[in-house]
Amino acid sequence: ASAFLSQWLGRDVEIELARVAPYVDEAHLHLVAAGELGDWDVRRFRPNVVVDGARDLDDLVGARLALGSVVVDVYKRTKRCAMPTMRQGEGIEKDVSVLRTLARGRDLRLGVYAQVVTPGRLDVGASITVV
Comparing CA positions, the residue from 20, 39, 28 lying closest to residue 78 is: 28
Give pLDDT, residue 25: 65
Helix and strand numbers (H, E) in the chain are 3, 6
114 vs 128: CA distance, rounded Å: 13
Average pLDDT, integer, range 110-123: 96
Per-residue confidence band for 18, with pLDDT thresholds at 50, 70 and 90: low
Q: Considering the chain, what is the average pLDDT of its residues?
A: 90
Q: What is the pTM of this model?
A: 0.78
DSSP H or E run through 111: strand 109-118
Q: Who wins on pLDDT, 77 or 25? A: 77
Decide if 115 contacts 75 (C-beta within 8 A): yes
What does the pLDDT look like over 37-62, one tens digit per residue?
999 999 999 999 999 999 999 999 99
For residue 50, the model assigns a pLDDT of 96
Is the pLDDT assigned to residue 22 strictly greater than 70? Answer: no
